[in-house]
A and B are shown apart, each in its own frame.
Chain A
Amino acid sequence: MEAGRGTFLRDLRGTRVWRSVFRSGTGANTLHRALAIQQSIFLHLFSTKVRKRMLAFKSTWYLGTLTLGTLLILVTTGILLMLYYHPSVPQAYADVKDLKFVVSSGMFLRNLHRWSAHAMVFLVFAHMFKVFYRGAYRPPREFNWVIGIILLLLTLLLSYTGYLLPWDQLAFWAITVGSNISSAVPLIGNKIHFLLLGGNQVNANALLRFYVLHCMILPLAALLFVAVHFWRIRKDGGLYVQQSEPRKAGTAEESQKKVPTL
C-alpha cells in the first residue's frame, strides 16, 4: 500500500503536466529538494535550506509565523465580510448588525476578524520584543528591522481604519479623536486631517476613505512589505539564532567579507 502510493506520487510528479506546473520535477536528492523551494514563486522567498536549530521553538517562539497566520485569517474573513457590508452612512451600522444577528456564520466571521486583529497587534509587538531582546535586529539584519517598523505602522493603521467601519458611537468618537491627533502635525496637520477625512467632520466621505484604506490600500502595502520582509530573512542569512557569546567588535568588517547569502 505504502509502496503503491509512493509509486503513484512519483509517477504523477514525472508527468508532463506536473512538470509544466512545478518545473522542479522528480527526485528526492538535495538538488531536487532545493529546486522544489527555489522554483516556486511562493516558496522562493524562503531559504532552500535551514538549520534545524533555526526552526526550534525557542529560537523565535514562532511569533512571526503566527503573525502571518493572523494576517491570512484577516484577509480571508475580511473579504467575506465585504460581501455583506456597504460603506455608507445609512447602511454601515445596520450591515454590521445584520452580520451579527442575521447572516449565517456572520457573527463567527466578524468575531474571528475582530479577535484576529487584536491578536495580530499583540503578536507584532511580541515578535518585535523577541527580536529586540535577542539582538536579532543587528547587522546584517538592520534593514529588515526597518521593514518590520513599516509593517508595525501598517498593522496599527489597518487596526485604526477598521475601527471606524462599524459606524457606532465608539467608532465615531475614536476616529474623531484619532484624526484630530493628525492635526497636530506642524504646518500641514490640518491639510492631512482634511485629506484623511475627505472633509472637516467624520461623515460619509471619511467612512468611504477609511473603507478603501482598510480593504485595498493598506492590505496591498502590507502584503508587499511582508514579501520583502520574508525575502530579506533569506538574504540576511536566515532566521536568527542567538549565539551564546555576542560577536566581538571588529567582526563587522569580517561579515562584510563574507560570501553573500543567495
Chain B
Amino acid sequence: MDEKNAMTPTSDEKEISRRALFAKLGLGSLGLAAAGTLGFSYQFLSPNVLYEASPIVNAGKPESFSLDSVTLDATTGIFLIHVQEGFFALNAVCTHLGCLTAWKPDSGQIACPCHGSRFSREGVKLAGPAPKPLPWLRTWINDDGDLLVDRSTNIPAMQFLRI
C-alpha cells in the first residue's frame, strides 16, 4: 500500500486535516471557557446571602387594631386592615413601579404618590397605571396570640382572618 492510497478516503466520511482538528479543538475549548466565565460571572454577581428584613412580620396583638382601621407599617411595606369580616394584610408596594402607597381616610382609598394609582381598601385597582391589584398576604395568629404576616406569600383576595 503506497502513500497515495493511504491518503484516499475509503468511505463517505469527511477527511479532517490535523490543522482543522486543532483549530476546532482550540475554538471549542475557548468557547467552553467563555461559557464557564459567563456562568461564573452570573453566580458571582448573584448574592447568596441577603441582609434584608425577614419576610415574616410580627404585627403584635390583633386587639391593637381597632375595627375599620387601616394601618400602614412603612418599614415593612404592609397594610394591616381590620374590618367586620376579620383581619387581612395587603402588600403596600404599588404593583406599578414599586412605590409605597398610602391610605387616604378622606376618600377611603389607597393611593400611590408616584404615578397616581388608586386602590380600594380591599386592594382592588380603581384608577391609574397599576397593572394588578394590591396582593393579599398570608396572615395567621401564632401561639403567643400575635398577628403574623408573611410578605412573601400571596393569597387569593377576600380570605379574611377571623379571630
User: Which DSSP category, helix, strand, loop or mixed, fits chain B's interface?
Assistant: loop
Cβ–Cβ contact A177 & B52, under 8 A: no
Cβ–Cβ contact B50 & A176, under 8 A: no
Cβ–Cβ contact A195 & B50, under 8 A: no
Cβ–Cβ contact B97 & A180, under 8 A: yes
Cβ–Cβ contact A173 & B99, under 8 A: yes
User: Which DSSP category, helix, strand, loop or mixed, fits chain A's interface?
Assistant: helix
Cβ–Cβ contact B97 & A176, under 8 A: yes
Query: Which residues of B sit under 8 angstroms from A177, Cβ to Cβ?
Result: 97-99, 114
Q: How large is the interface on B (under 10, 10 to 19, 20 to 34, 35 or more residues)?
A: 10 to 19
Shortest distance between the CB of A64 and any CB in chain B (Å): 34
Cβ–Cβ contact A201 & B46, under 8 A: no
Please encode chain B, from 33 to 70, with 1 for each CB lying within 8 Å of some chain A CB and 0 for all others: 00000000010011100111000000000000000000
Task: Given the known inter-chain contacts A173-B114, A195-B46, please indicate yes or no for A180 contacting B98, CB distance below 8 A.
Answer: yes
Q: How far, in whole Å, are A218 and B39 apart by their CA atoms in the complex?
A: 22
Query: Which residues of B sit under 8 angstroms from A199, Cβ to Cβ?
Result: 47, 50, 52
Q: Which residue in A173, A181, A200 is a CB contact (below 8 Å) of B52?
A: A200
Q: How far, in whole Å, are A201 and B99 apart by their CA atoms in the complex?
A: 11
Query: Which residues of A sit under 8 angstroms from B51, Cβ to Cβ?
Result: 203-204
Asked if A205 lies at the interface with its beta carbon under 8 angstroms from chain B, I say yes
Asked if A194 lies at the interface with its beta carbon under 8 angstroms from chain B, I say yes
Count the A residues whose beta carbon is within 8 Å of the partner chain — how many? Answer: 15
Q: How far, in whole Å, are A199 and B51 apart by their CA atoms in the complex?
A: 9
Please encode chain B, from 80 to 106, with 1 for each CB lying within 8 Å of some chain A CB and 0 for all others: 000000000000000001110000000
Question: Which residues of chain A in 185-215 are interfacial with respect to chain B, using CB atoms and an 8 Å cutoff?
Answer: 194-195, 198-201, 203-205
Task: Given the known inter-chain contacts A173-B99, A176-B97, A176-B98, please indicate yes or no for A203 contacting B52, CB distance below 8 A.
Answer: yes
Shortest distance between the CB of A247 and any CB in chain B (Å): 43
Shortest distance between the CB of B113 and any CB in chain A (Å): 9
Closest A residue to B98 by beta carbon equals A180
Q: How far, in whole Å, are A120 and B114 apart by their CA atoms in the complex?
A: 27
Query: Which residues of B sit under 8 angstroms from A181, Cβ to Cβ?
Result: 97
Query: Which residues of A sit under 8 angstroms from B97, Cβ to Cβ?
Result: 176-177, 180-181
Task: Given the known inter-chain contacts A199-B52, A203-B52, please indicate yes or no for A194 contacting B98, CB distance below 8 A.
Answer: no
Shortest distance between the CB of B150 and any CB in chain A (Å): 15
Please encode chain B, from 18 to 30, with 1 for each CB lying within 8 Å of some chain A CB and 0 for all others: 0000000000000
Shortest distance between the CB of B102 and any CB in chain A (Å): 13
Closest B residue to A194 by beta carbon equals B46
Shortest distance between the CB of A218 and any CB in chain B (Å): 16
Most A C-beta atoms less than 10 A away, residue of B47, B50, B51, B98: B98
Q: How far, in whole Å, are A133 and B45 apart by their CA atoms in the complex?
A: 42
Query: Which residues of B sit under 8 angstroms from A194, Cβ to Cβ?
Result: 46
Closest A residue to B42 by beta carbon equals A195
Q: How far, in whole Å, are A194 and B47 apart by their CA atoms in the complex?
A: 9
Cβ–Cβ contact B45 & A195, under 8 A: yes
Q: How far, in whole Å, are A176 and B93 apart by their CA atoms in the complex?
A: 11
Task: Given the known inter-chain contacts A194-B46, A195-B45, A195-B46, please indicate yes or no for A176 contacting B99, CB distance below 8 A.
Answer: yes
> 10 extra interchain contacts, Cβ-Cβ under 8 A, other than A181-B97, A198-B45, A199-B50?
A176-B97, A177-B97, A179-B98, A180-B97, A199-B52, A200-B50, A200-B52, A203-B51, A203-B52, A205-B50
B interface vs A, CB < 8 Å?
42, 45-47, 50-52, 97-99, 114
Q: List 23 A-B contacts (CB under 8 A).
A: A173-B99, A173-B114, A176-B97, A176-B99, A177-B97, A177-B98, A177-B99, A179-B98, A180-B98, A194-B46, A195-B45, A195-B46, A198-B45, A198-B47, A199-B50, A199-B52, A200-B50, A200-B52, A201-B52, A203-B52, A204-B51, A205-B47, A205-B50
